Structure 1
Amino acid sequence: MRRKVHGERTAHQDAWLNAWVADVELPDGQRFEQHAVKLRRPAVAATVDDRREAVGSATPAGAGAAARRRRNGPA
Structure 2
Amino acid sequence: MMGAMTRRLWLVATLCMLACRLRADAEQPREVAPEFTLPDADGNPVSLAQLRSRGPVVLVFYRGWW
TM interval, shorter chain, is under 0.3
- TM-score, normalised with respect to structure 1: 0.22
TM-score of the aligned structures, taking structure 2 as reference length: 0.24
Higher relative contact order (CA 8 A, sep 6+): 1
Please say which structure displays the higher CA radius of gyration.
Answer: 2
Larger helix proportion of the pair: 2
Structure with the bigger percentage of strand: 1
